[in-house]
Amino acid sequence: MAAPARGQGRLRLFCFPYAGSGTRAFRGWAEELPDDVEVYGIQLPGRDDRLAERPMDDVSAVLDELVPALEPYVDGPFAFFGHSMGALLCWETARSARSAYGVLPSHVFVSGCQPPPLIGDRTRSGDAAPVLGDAELIERMRTLGGTPEEVLQDAGLMSVVLPAFRGDSTMLARYRYAPGEPLPCPLTVFGGDRDARAAPEELVGWAELVKEAPDVCVLPGGHFFLHTERKRLLAEISARLGSAHPPRHV
């Protein structure tokens, strides 16, 4: 499930994509991060080279597949980065890896995402995940702003993209946060100063999920600041990875 983007390095950085996306969201990252960082993209079913597979629509099902697949790769220093839905998945993967294998990331980077308890509260009011039609999903993608209009208008392309986005949207709607012990690993929270999906004032809530206060870094831009402010984002990640320590066994 993890597609390597470069050869051996001092530290492995696993990157979790936002809803409907795949590893292409992190194309070119390896060239802009330190040479000794080995970049991996987490490839979920239903996109890119896993297009023929049925997309998943439940966080627990993703973790059941992903965490064992990561086991051979967490025998040395590693870190997690996730944007939007990917931030939620990387956080839950860190919790599950700690529980299953007793290891912690050297650093966790969450980006453009409300704290998991807020996501659970937001979706708790409905008993079942809403079933959205294609037009509603396309309008949701348009509102998020991460998909070019020419792609949204291309029926052929959208027939390929929509199944994964529908599965991811259902996954988020079904998500319920399960309280647990705060993780004792460094956490950096990235946000966009105009991000309506994860407003800067909401990001401080991540502090409740770690033992040491996270550092919050707000960049210019909306929800997809990871693309519009890519160079600055990668510079901030690089600076923090430079001081990353080996994972602790707990």
Active site members:
84
- Residues 6 or more apart from 132 whose CB is under 8 A from it? 140, 166, 169
The position carrying tokens 């997690």 is 80
Q: Cβ distance 39 to 30 under 8 Å?
A: yes
